Protein backbone atom coordinates (compact mmCIF):
# COMPACT_ATOMS: atom_id res chain seq x y z
CA UNK A 1 0.00 0.00 0.00
CA UNK A 2 2.77 2.45 0.96
CA UNK A 3 4.66 1.71 -2.27
CA UNK A 4 1.51 2.47 -4.28
CA UNK A 5 1.04 5.79 -2.47
CA UNK A 6 4.69 6.67 -2.95
CA UNK A 7 4.50 5.98 -6.67
CA UNK A 8 1.35 8.09 -6.95
CA UNK A 9 3.11 11.00 -5.25
CA UNK A 10 6.11 10.56 -7.55
CA UNK A 11 3.99 10.75 -10.66
CA UNK A 12 2.20 13.88 -9.49
CA UNK A 13 -0.76 15.48 -11.29
CA UNK A 14 -1.10 13.93 -14.75
CA UNK A 15 -4.35 15.41 -16.08
CA UNK A 16 -3.86 18.10 -18.73
CA UNK A 17 -5.29 21.55 -18.02
CA UNK A 18 -7.26 21.69 -21.29
CA UNK A 19 -9.29 23.77 -21.99
CA UNK A 20 -7.79 26.13 -19.41
CA UNK A 21 -4.27 27.51 -19.68
CA UNK A 22 -1.97 27.63 -22.67
CA UNK A 23 -2.60 25.74 -25.90
CA UNK A 24 -1.65 22.06 -25.62
CA UNK A 25 1.80 21.12 -26.87
CA UNK A 26 1.66 18.67 -29.74
CA UNK A 27 4.45 16.69 -31.42
CA UNK A 28 6.19 18.37 -34.36
CA UNK A 29 4.94 15.63 -36.69
CA UNK A 30 1.29 16.28 -35.77
CA UNK A 31 -0.83 17.29 -38.78
CA UNK A 32 -3.76 19.53 -37.99
CA UNK A 33 -5.93 21.91 -39.99
CA UNK A 34 -4.67 22.14 -43.60
CA UNK A 35 -3.60 25.57 -44.82
CA UNK A 36 -4.39 26.37 -48.46
CA UNK A 37 -2.67 29.34 -50.08
CA UNK A 38 -4.43 30.03 -53.39
CA UNK A 39 -1.93 32.81 -54.20
CA UNK A 40 0.80 30.17 -54.62
CA UNK A 41 -1.33 27.86 -56.75
CA UNK A 42 -0.34 27.85 -60.42
CA UNK A 43 -3.90 27.00 -61.48
CA UNK A 44 -3.24 24.33 -64.07
CA UNK A 45 -1.23 22.03 -61.77
CA UNK A 46 -3.15 19.01 -60.50
CA UNK A 47 -0.41 17.20 -58.64
CA UNK A 48 -2.00 17.67 -55.21
CA UNK A 49 -5.37 16.33 -56.36
CA UNK A 50 -3.78 13.40 -58.15
CA UNK A 51 -1.74 12.50 -55.05
CA UNK A 52 -4.75 12.45 -52.72
CA UNK A 53 -5.87 8.84 -52.08
CA UNK A 54 -9.45 9.82 -51.19
CA UNK A 55 -10.20 12.58 -53.74
CA UNK A 56 -10.39 15.13 -50.94
CA UNK A 57 -8.96 17.91 -53.11
CA UNK A 58 -10.80 19.66 -55.92
CA UNK A 59 -9.39 22.47 -58.05
CA UNK A 60 -11.46 25.57 -58.79
CA UNK A 61 -10.78 28.89 -60.50
CA UNK A 62 -9.83 30.44 -57.16
CA UNK A 63 -7.47 27.63 -56.14
CA UNK A 64 -7.72 24.28 -54.36
CA UNK A 65 -10.59 23.26 -52.11
CA UNK A 66 -10.17 20.51 -49.56
CA UNK A 67 -12.82 18.29 -47.99
CA UNK A 68 -11.80 17.77 -44.36
CA UNK A 69 -14.32 14.97 -44.11
CA UNK A 70 -12.44 12.94 -46.73
CA UNK A 71 -8.92 13.99 -45.69
CA UNK A 72 -6.70 11.28 -44.17
CA UNK A 73 -4.06 13.86 -43.11
CA UNK A 74 -1.49 11.69 -44.86
CA UNK A 75 0.41 14.71 -46.19
CA UNK A 76 0.74 13.34 -49.73
CA UNK A 77 -0.80 16.48 -51.21
CA UNK A 78 1.67 18.78 -49.45
CA UNK A 79 4.60 16.70 -50.64
CA UNK A 80 3.31 16.64 -54.21
CA UNK A 81 2.59 20.37 -54.53
CA UNK A 82 5.61 22.07 -56.16
CA UNK A 83 4.44 25.54 -55.06
CA UNK A 84 3.92 24.63 -51.38
CA UNK A 85 0.34 25.86 -51.68
CA UNK A 86 -0.82 23.21 -49.20
CA UNK A 87 0.59 22.71 -45.71
CA UNK A 88 -0.61 21.28 -42.41
CA UNK A 89 -0.78 23.43 -39.30
CA UNK A 90 -0.81 22.22 -35.69
CA UNK A 91 -4.35 23.44 -35.14
CA UNK A 92 -6.22 20.46 -33.65
CA UNK A 93 -9.63 22.20 -33.79
CA UNK A 94 -11.41 20.49 -36.67
CA UNK A 95 -14.98 19.66 -35.63
CA UNK A 96 -17.97 21.12 -37.50
CA UNK A 97 -21.72 20.88 -37.13
CA UNK A 98 -22.49 20.44 -40.84
CA UNK A 99 -20.93 18.44 -43.64
CA UNK A 100 -20.78 21.59 -45.77
CA UNK A 101 -18.57 23.37 -43.24
CA UNK A 102 -15.88 20.73 -43.77
CA UNK A 103 -15.24 22.05 -47.29
CA UNK A 104 -12.44 24.56 -46.88
CA UNK A 105 -10.72 26.88 -49.36
CA UNK A 106 -8.03 28.40 -47.16
CA UNK A 107 -9.89 31.58 -46.28
CA UNK A 108 -12.14 30.64 -43.37
CA UNK A 109 -13.11 27.56 -41.39
CA UNK A 110 -16.28 27.48 -39.31
CA UNK A 111 -15.77 25.73 -36.00
CA UNK A 112 -18.55 23.65 -34.48
CA UNK A 113 -21.31 25.76 -32.98
CA UNK A 114 -23.01 24.91 -29.71
CA UNK A 115 -26.38 23.25 -29.42
CA UNK A 116 -29.37 25.49 -28.87
CA UNK A 117 -30.31 26.55 -25.34
CA UNK A 118 -32.88 23.80 -24.85
CA UNK A 119 -30.47 21.06 -25.93
CA UNK A 120 -27.68 22.45 -23.75
CA UNK A 121 -29.99 22.36 -20.75
CA UNK A 122 -30.62 18.68 -21.49
CA UNK A 123 -27.09 17.55 -22.31
CA UNK A 124 -24.77 20.27 -21.03
CA UNK A 125 -24.13 18.97 -17.52
CA UNK A 126 -24.18 15.24 -18.21
CA UNK A 127 -23.68 13.58 -21.58
CA UNK A 128 -23.73 9.78 -21.83
CA UNK A 129 -22.55 8.32 -25.14
CA UNK A 130 -22.67 4.82 -26.61
CA UNK A 131 -19.73 4.19 -28.91
CA UNK A 132 -20.52 2.21 -32.07
CA UNK A 133 -17.72 0.81 -34.21
CA UNK A 134 -19.44 0.47 -37.58
CA UNK A 135 -16.57 -1.33 -39.29
CA UNK A 136 -13.70 0.78 -37.93
CA UNK A 137 -10.05 -0.30 -37.96
CA UNK A 138 -9.78 0.45 -34.20
CA UNK A 139 -7.62 3.58 -34.59
CA UNK A 140 -10.45 6.04 -33.89
CA UNK A 141 -11.79 3.67 -31.24
CA UNK A 142 -8.39 3.67 -29.52
CA UNK A 143 -8.20 7.47 -29.40
CA UNK A 144 -11.72 7.65 -27.99
CA UNK A 145 -10.66 5.18 -25.32
CA UNK A 146 -7.62 7.36 -24.52
CA UNK A 147 -10.03 10.12 -23.51
CA UNK A 148 -11.09 8.03 -20.50
CA UNK A 149 -7.53 7.85 -19.12
CA UNK A 150 -6.16 10.06 -16.36
CA UNK A 151 -4.40 12.35 -18.86
CA UNK A 152 -7.60 13.57 -20.54
CA UNK A 153 -10.19 12.48 -17.94
CA UNK A 154 -13.32 12.86 -20.04
CA UNK A 155 -15.48 12.29 -16.96
CA UNK A 156 -14.47 15.62 -15.40
CA UNK A 157 -16.65 17.29 -18.04
CA UNK A 158 -19.65 15.12 -17.21
CA UNK A 159 -19.15 13.08 -20.41
CA UNK A 160 -19.08 9.29 -20.12
CA UNK A 161 -19.17 6.25 -22.39
CA UNK A 162 -21.90 3.79 -21.48
CA UNK A 163 -22.50 0.15 -22.32
CA UNK A 164 -26.10 0.37 -23.52
CA UNK A 165 -27.83 2.72 -25.96
CA UNK A 166 -30.82 2.69 -23.61
CA UNK A 167 -28.67 4.52 -21.05
CA UNK A 168 -27.23 6.94 -23.61
CA UNK A 169 -27.95 10.49 -24.74
CA UNK A 170 -26.40 9.80 -28.11
CA UNK A 171 -24.04 7.77 -30.26
CA UNK A 172 -20.34 8.19 -31.00
CA UNK A 173 -19.85 6.46 -34.34
CA UNK A 174 -16.60 5.28 -35.94
CA UNK A 175 -16.07 3.33 -39.13
CA UNK A 176 -17.54 3.66 -42.65
CA UNK A 177 -20.76 1.76 -41.78
CA UNK A 178 -20.18 -1.57 -43.44
CA UNK A 179 -23.11 -3.51 -44.89
CA UNK A 180 -22.94 -5.96 -41.98
CA UNK A 181 -23.09 -3.11 -39.42
CA UNK A 182 -25.75 -0.93 -41.02
CA UNK A 183 -28.73 -2.70 -39.45
CA UNK A 184 -26.96 -2.86 -36.08
CA UNK A 185 -26.30 0.89 -36.22
CA UNK A 186 -29.89 1.64 -37.12
CA UNK A 187 -31.19 -0.55 -34.28
CA UNK A 188 -28.76 1.05 -31.82
CA UNK A 189 -29.96 4.49 -32.89
CA UNK A 190 -33.59 3.47 -32.47
CA UNK A 191 -32.85 2.06 -29.00
CA UNK A 192 -31.37 5.37 -27.85
CA UNK A 193 -34.04 7.48 -26.12
CA UNK A 194 -35.04 10.76 -27.78
CA UNK A 195 -33.88 13.48 -27.85
CA UNK A 196 -30.46 12.19 -28.88
CA UNK A 197 -27.22 13.24 -30.51
CA UNK A 198 -25.09 11.55 -33.14
CA UNK A 199 -21.38 12.27 -33.50
CA UNK A 200 -19.33 10.95 -36.44
CA UNK A 201 -15.67 10.49 -35.51
CA UNK A 202 -13.00 10.07 -38.16
CA UNK A 203 -12.79 10.13 -41.95
CA UNK A 204 -14.47 6.73 -42.29
CA UNK A 205 -17.52 7.74 -40.25
CA UNK A 206 -17.80 11.03 -42.16
CA UNK A 207 -17.24 9.98 -45.77
CA UNK A 208 -16.03 6.38 -45.93
CA UNK A 209 -12.33 7.16 -45.55
CA UNK A 210 -10.07 5.03 -47.76
CA UNK A 211 -13.02 2.71 -48.38
CA UNK A 212 -15.21 5.39 -49.99
CA UNK A 213 -17.22 4.05 -52.90
CA UNK A 214 -16.76 0.39 -51.97
CA UNK A 215 -19.91 -1.65 -52.46
CA UNK A 216 -19.71 -3.25 -49.00
CA UNK A 217 -19.87 0.01 -47.02
CA UNK A 218 -22.05 3.12 -47.00
CA UNK A 219 -19.64 6.10 -46.95
CA UNK A 220 -20.25 7.19 -43.40
CA UNK A 221 -22.78 7.51 -40.61
CA UNK A 222 -25.10 10.04 -42.22
CA UNK A 223 -26.05 7.43 -44.82
CA UNK A 224 -27.98 5.70 -42.04
CA UNK A 225 -28.62 8.13 -39.17
CA UNK A 226 -28.72 11.94 -38.84
CA UNK A 227 -25.40 13.44 -37.65
CA UNK A 228 -25.09 16.42 -35.29
CA UNK A 229 -21.30 16.75 -35.15
CA UNK A 230 -18.49 15.78 -37.52
CA UNK A 231 -14.96 15.27 -36.14
CA UNK A 232 -12.40 14.80 -38.96
CA UNK A 233 -9.14 12.88 -38.73
CA UNK A 234 -7.57 9.50 -39.45
CA UNK A 235 -7.72 9.07 -36.56
CA UNK A 236 -8.62 12.36 -34.85
CA UNK A 237 -6.29 13.31 -32.02
CA UNK A 238 -7.96 12.92 -28.60
CA UNK A 239 -7.82 16.71 -28.22
CA UNK A 240 -9.66 17.10 -31.52
CA UNK A 241 -12.44 14.85 -30.26
CA UNK A 242 -12.57 16.54 -26.86
CA UNK A 243 -12.58 20.01 -28.40
CA UNK A 244 -15.49 19.04 -30.66
CA UNK A 245 -17.54 17.62 -27.80
CA UNK A 246 -16.99 20.68 -25.61
CA UNK A 247 -17.89 23.06 -28.44
CA UNK A 248 -21.09 21.11 -29.04
CA UNK A 249 -22.00 21.53 -25.37
CA UNK A 250 -21.15 25.23 -25.35
CA UNK A 251 -18.22 24.77 -22.95
CA UNK A 252 -15.83 26.73 -25.18
CA UNK A 253 -16.24 30.31 -26.34
CA UNK A 254 -17.95 30.83 -29.70
CA UNK A 255 -15.46 31.60 -32.46
CA UNK A 256 -17.69 31.27 -35.52
CA UNK A 257 -15.89 31.54 -38.85
CA UNK A 258 -12.21 32.15 -38.17
CA UNK A 259 -9.25 32.64 -40.48
CA UNK A 260 -7.55 29.40 -41.46
CA UNK A 261 -4.37 28.68 -39.49
CA UNK A 262 -1.13 30.15 -40.84
End-to-end, the C-alpha distance of the chain in Å comes to 51
User: Is 224 among the domain residues?
Assistant: yes
Q: pLDDT tens digit string along 51-68?
A: 999 999 998 777 789 999
Give the domain extent around 174.
117-259
Calculate the average pLDDT of the chain: 91
Residue 224 Cα distances to 156, 186, 218, 231, 238, angstroms: 31, 7, 8, 17, 25
The pLDDT of residue 250 is 94
The pLDDT of residue 259 is 40
The pLDDT of residue 254 is 55
Q: pLDDT tens digit string along 135-153?
A: 999 999 999 999 999 999 9
User: Is 162 among the domain residues?
Assistant: yes
User: Is 43 among the domain residues?
Assistant: no
User: Is 30 among the domain residues?
Assistant: no
Buried b (16+ CB within 10 A) or exposed e, 182-199: beebeebbeebeeebbbb
User: Is 22 among the domain residues?
Assistant: no
pTM of the predicted model, to two decimals?
Answer: 0.92
Question: Do the Cβ atoms of 126 and 120 come closer than 8 Å?
Answer: no
User: Is 222 among the domain residues?
Assistant: yes
Question: 253 — phi, psi (to 5°)?
Answer: -60, 140
pLDDT at 258 over 70: no
User: Is 135 among the domain residues?
Assistant: yes
Number of domains in the chain: 1
User: Is 81 among the domain residues?
Assistant: no
Residue among 200, 81, 223 at smallest CA distance from 132: 200
Which element (helix H / strand E) includes 240? Answer: helix 238-248
Question: Do the Cβ atoms of 83 and 45 come closer than 8 Å?
Answer: yes
**Domain of residue 138, CATH code:** 3.40.50.12280
Amino acid sequence: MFSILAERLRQGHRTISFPAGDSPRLPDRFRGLPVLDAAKCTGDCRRCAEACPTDAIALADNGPRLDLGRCLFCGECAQACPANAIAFSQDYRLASRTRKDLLIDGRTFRLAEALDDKARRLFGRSLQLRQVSAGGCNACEADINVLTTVVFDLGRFGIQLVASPRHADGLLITGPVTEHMRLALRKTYEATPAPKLVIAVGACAIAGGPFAGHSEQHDGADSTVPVDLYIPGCPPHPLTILDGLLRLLGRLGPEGARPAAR
